[in-house]
Structure 1
Amino acid sequence: MNWNPDEHYKNRAVAADYDASRFSSISGRVFNFLEKRTVAKCFSRLPKGSTIADAPCGTGRLAGVLLAAGYRVHGFDISEAMLDVARRRLDSYGESFTCEVADMKKHPPGGPMCDGALCARVLMHFPLDGQIEFLTGVANLSRSIVVINQSLDSGYQRFRRRLKRWLGNQPPAGFPISNGDIRLLLEKSGLREVGRHHLLPLVSEAVYIVAEKV
């Protein structure tokens, strides 16, 4: 499949349908609930009122969790279309939510400018070198912790991915990585792991990692 994550989400129709297409089913609603709860838990060490960089911010689904918990959020995304959805969704938070278009791989903003950073649902779209490039840009935005999510590669998860393909479900992550590669990813990005949260180990490859700047 010729699918380019750097271009796909710039489409306004894709942006408008993003949340409904992924989180309307029963499994999608369960995953959405668990992911939001996990993100809030990962940032609980930061004092309320801290500013968190959300890159990529997408439609603001996870930014809303952080805003509701009392944080300020500055979103970055390569897609103006996705940010337009986020602005409408989070309008009630006023100046606590700001955002801008940015390419974390080619032209990352200078930093650090925020107290923490979130990098969710993107790294698994790129080979490891691209993941390091993207995460380095995100890590440079944070003065302290960086929370990332990854698709964990293991024998069991490889079996699950083959089964999903056979059943014709939504294609799994393109570049899941092993624990060894996660250590390399963090090291090359100037980070070290201090905590980990699995959403549902038996039915999901998603894992959230809390890391500190080295």
Structure 2
Amino acid sequence: MSEDHEAGETAGAILAEPVNYDADVAAYELATKPRYQNLGFAERYLAGYAGRLKLSTFASYVIARREQNCIAKALETCSPLPSQILDIPCGTGKLADVLIRHNCQVMAADISMEMMALAKTAYEGRPGFQGFVRCDVTQLPMANESFDTVICLRLIHLIPPHLRRKIINELARVTSRRLIVSYGLASRFQRIRLKLRNSITGRVSAPHPVDFSVAREDFSQAGLKLVRSFSILPLLSCEQVFVLEKA
């Protein structure tokens, strides 16, 4: 009798917050997250923007340089200038040079140990670098307002709708002043471009782009105010960098 009761309580606890494993959730949990925690993928990712320039890596190289330039411009327009930055996901250290040159303290975080292992060359030994933290962006192990600036590049376009706002709220929680985040924006042109790219290459570069109105709703509900934005490359990428400040 007691065992039946305990089993019933357990079942009830499991069913209290059911997870809808639809195609989007399954693709993210079973494909996207494991892919970024694969050393071979991490090495290819790094080579795409930091290796020898080839025709196959040209787009990745150009987009990476534009991302670095946009983040640099975003930081330069901040007032006051950032002093404590969280780079999440830090990936293979793409933003290391940009962030370190701003004479501030930087912590790098990612769910992928494989990515961070390759980021060591870019980050370790640099002035102001505070170290690496392995964590899931949906539940950051940092106290409220631990940083004055949080940077989240090339993540939100991979996130299915059921997690997107949770992540934005979590990023907003750990910053005291601003969040710099990139989204994939789903304009009519970009939807057509992404569909054509998928049909030609079989690759989905931005599985979860959103309309600009949806992005603004995300910012508003997290208590963030949009102050400026930067387009990465309108013809090659749907990525847009937003500078948001706490209201």
**TM score, norm. by length of structure 2:** 0.79
Aligned residues: 214
How big is each residue's C-alpha offset from its partner over 1:27-75, in whole Å with a ceiling of 9 and x where there is no partner?
2222111110100111111556711111111111113311123232111
- Does the C-alpha gap of structure 1 residues 169 and 68 become closer, same or farther in structure 2, counting only changes over 3 Å? farther
**Helix, strand or coil at the partner of 1:43:** helix
**Aligned pair in 2 of structure 1 residues 131, 49: CA closer, same or farther (>3 Å)?**
closer
**Aligned residue for 2:135?**
102
Alignment match of 2:61 (pick from 29, 41, 44): 29
Give the structure 2 partner of residue 5 of structure 1.
32
Give, in whole Å, the separation in 2 of the partners of 1:54 and 1:128: 22
Give the Cα separation in 2 of the matches to 1:80 and 1:125. Answer: 19
SS of the equivalent of 1:99 reads strand
CA RMSD of aligned residues (A): 2.1
Distance 1:128 1:108 in 2: 23
Q: What residue in structure 1 maps to residue 44 of structure 2?
A: 17
Matches of residues 1-214 of structure 1 in structure 2 within 5 Å?
2=27, 3-21=30-48, 24=53, 25-44=57-76, 45-47=78-80, 50-168=83-201, 170-214=203-247
Q: Provide the rounded CA distance (Å) in 2 between the counterparts of 1:46 and 1:72.
A: 16
- Once residues 135 and 49 of structure 1 are traced to their aligned partners in structure 2, the CA distance between those partners, rounded to angstroms, is 19
Structure 2 CA distance, aligned partners of 1:106 and 1:140?
10
SS in 2 for 1:177: coil
Distance in 2, Cα, partners of 1:4 & 1:94:
36
Contact 1:102-1:109 within 8 A present in 2 as well? no
The percentage of counterpart residues that share the same residue type is 25
**Runs of 5+ in structure 1 lacking a partner?**
none
- Give the Cα separation in 2 of the matches to 1:90 and 1:130: 29
Gaps of 5+ in 2: 1-22
